[in-house]
């Protein structure tokens, strides 16, 4: 015989119907929906609040840069902030590198 029995049996099998295809795709759709509500949506909300905080940063606010520098805002420009990181030491920071903004009069240290 030239054709094995396994190939001969699968040759006449009917293709699954539309219901079979939906059932096959359903787990992938459910996984995507779960990822959206558990990971993507909260991350977008966090990014939106951070962008609003950076846009509304004003003189006296405390900021943390992506590099880990902590300082107090002394001057606000369109794309930059001037941050005092030590007495009489001021640096210009690009707003896009800000990781956190604490408003003036924020939560006090736990001393």
Residue 103 has pLDDT above 60, yes or no: yes
Q: What is the dihedral of CA 44, 50, 52, 56, to 10 degrees?
A: 180
Boundaries of every domain in the chain: 16-52, 56-102
pLDDT digit string (tens) for 18-63?
888 888 899 999 999 999 999 999 999 999 999 999 999 999 999 9
- C-alpha–C-alpha distance, residues 7 and 28, integer Å: 30
pTM over 0.75: no
pLDDT digit string (tens) for 57-85?
999 999 999 999 999 999 999 999 999 99
| Domain topology for 56-102 | SH3 type barrels. (2.30.30)
Query: Which of 26 and 106 is assigned the larger pLDDT?
Result: 26
pLDDT score at 57? 92
pLDDT score at 24? 85
- C-alpha–C-alpha distance, residues 97 and 35, integer Å: 27
């Amino acid at each position: 015989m030239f054709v094995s029995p396994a190939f001969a049996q699968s040759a006449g099998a009917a293709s699954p119907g539309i219901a079979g295809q939906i059932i096959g795709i359903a787990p992938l759709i459910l996984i995507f929906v779960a990822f959206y509500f558990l990971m993507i949506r909260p991350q977008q909300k966090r990014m939106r609040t951070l962008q609003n905080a950076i846009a509304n940063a004003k003189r006296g606010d405390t900021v943390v840069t992506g590099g880990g520098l902590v300082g107090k805002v002394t001057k606000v420009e369109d794309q930059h902030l001037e941050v005092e990181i030590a007495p009489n030491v001021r640096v210009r920071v690009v707003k896009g590198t800000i990781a956190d903004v604490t408003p003036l009069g924020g939560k006090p240290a736990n001393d």
